[in-house]
Amino acid sequence: MDPKDPVRLRLEIHGRVQGVWFRASARDEALGIGVSGWVRNLANGHVEVTVEGDRSAVERLVAWCRKGPRGASVSKIEMKEETYAGEFDTFEIRY
Protein backbone atom coordinates (compact mmCIF):
# COMPACT_ATOMS: atom_id res chain seq x y z
CA MET A 1 0.00 0.00 0.00
CA ASP A 2 1.35 3.37 -1.04
CA PRO A 3 1.09 6.06 1.70
CA LYS A 4 -0.21 8.47 -0.97
CA ASP A 5 -3.11 6.21 -1.97
CA PRO A 6 -6.45 7.84 -1.19
CA VAL A 7 -8.43 6.14 1.56
CA ARG A 8 -11.70 6.63 3.43
CA LEU A 9 -12.25 5.45 6.99
CA ARG A 10 -15.24 5.53 9.30
CA LEU A 11 -14.37 5.60 13.01
CA GLU A 12 -16.51 5.19 16.09
CA ILE A 13 -14.60 6.44 19.10
CA HIS A 14 -15.53 5.11 22.55
CA GLY A 15 -14.73 6.43 26.01
CA ARG A 16 -15.04 9.86 27.58
CA VAL A 17 -15.23 11.69 24.26
CA GLN A 18 -18.21 14.02 24.61
CA GLY A 19 -18.06 17.24 26.59
CA VAL A 20 -14.26 17.48 26.17
CA TRP A 21 -14.06 19.47 22.91
CA PHE A 22 -13.36 16.31 20.90
CA ARG A 23 -15.25 17.43 17.78
CA ALA A 24 -13.70 20.91 17.57
CA SER A 25 -10.23 19.55 18.32
CA ALA A 26 -10.63 16.76 15.73
CA ARG A 27 -11.70 19.33 13.12
CA ASP A 28 -8.69 21.53 13.89
CA GLU A 29 -6.35 18.54 13.77
CA ALA A 30 -7.84 17.26 10.49
CA LEU A 31 -7.56 20.69 8.85
CA GLY A 32 -3.94 20.94 9.98
CA ILE A 33 -3.14 17.49 8.60
CA GLY A 34 -4.97 18.18 5.34
CA VAL A 35 -7.67 15.52 5.36
CA SER A 36 -11.38 16.02 4.71
CA GLY A 37 -14.61 14.62 6.12
CA TRP A 38 -16.68 15.20 9.23
CA VAL A 39 -17.10 14.48 12.94
CA ARG A 40 -20.25 14.24 15.07
CA ASN A 41 -21.49 13.12 18.47
CA LEU A 42 -23.66 10.01 18.62
CA ALA A 43 -26.61 9.50 20.95
CA ASN A 44 -24.80 6.53 22.56
CA GLY A 45 -22.04 8.82 23.89
CA HIS A 46 -19.50 7.95 21.20
CA VAL A 47 -18.03 10.17 18.49
CA GLU A 48 -18.18 9.25 14.81
CA VAL A 49 -15.61 10.39 12.25
CA THR A 50 -15.56 9.92 8.49
CA VAL A 51 -12.22 10.92 7.02
CA GLU A 52 -10.74 10.90 3.51
CA GLY A 53 -7.26 11.68 2.26
CA ASP A 54 -3.86 10.18 1.58
CA ARG A 55 -3.38 7.00 3.61
CA SER A 56 -0.49 8.47 5.61
CA ALA A 57 -2.47 11.62 6.49
CA VAL A 58 -5.57 9.62 7.47
CA GLU A 59 -3.39 7.41 9.67
CA ARG A 60 -2.07 10.55 11.41
CA LEU A 61 -5.64 11.61 12.26
CA VAL A 62 -6.46 8.10 13.51
CA ALA A 63 -3.37 8.24 15.75
CA TRP A 64 -4.56 11.58 17.14
CA CYS A 65 -8.07 10.13 17.72
CA ARG A 66 -6.57 7.35 19.86
CA LYS A 67 -5.69 10.04 22.44
CA GLY A 68 -8.00 12.94 21.61
CA PRO A 69 -7.86 16.34 23.29
CA ARG A 70 -7.00 17.02 26.91
CA GLY A 71 -9.80 15.68 29.09
CA ALA A 72 -10.70 12.85 26.72
CA SER A 73 -10.17 9.21 27.62
CA VAL A 74 -10.42 7.00 24.53
CA SER A 75 -11.06 3.37 25.39
CA LYS A 76 -11.58 1.91 21.91
CA ILE A 77 -11.88 2.85 18.25
CA GLU A 78 -13.97 0.80 15.84
CA MET A 79 -12.63 1.35 12.34
CA LYS A 80 -14.03 0.43 8.95
CA GLU A 81 -12.44 1.16 5.58
CA GLU A 82 -14.95 2.39 3.02
CA THR A 83 -14.72 3.16 -0.68
CA TYR A 84 -12.91 6.44 -1.26
CA ALA A 85 -15.34 8.95 -2.81
CA GLY A 86 -13.48 12.28 -2.75
CA GLU A 87 -16.74 13.98 -1.80
CA PHE A 88 -15.56 16.42 0.88
CA ASP A 89 -13.98 19.84 0.37
CA THR A 90 -13.11 20.40 4.02
CA PHE A 91 -13.48 18.82 7.46
CA GLU A 92 -16.58 19.88 9.39
CA ILE A 93 -18.53 19.30 12.55
CA ARG A 94 -21.94 17.77 11.93
CA TYR A 95 -24.90 17.97 14.29
Calculate the alpha carbon distances from 9 to 19, 24, 48, 54, 70 in Å: 24, 19, 11, 11, 24
Annotated catalytic, 44?
no
The catalytic residue among 10, 16, 41, 55 is 41
Q: Is residue 10 within 8 Å of residue 79, measured between CB atoms?
A: yes
Torsion, CA 34, CA 74, CA 5, CA 31, rounded to 10: -10
**Annotated catalytic residue: which of 8, 23, 27, 60?**
23
The residues annotated with a catalytic role in the active site are 23, 41
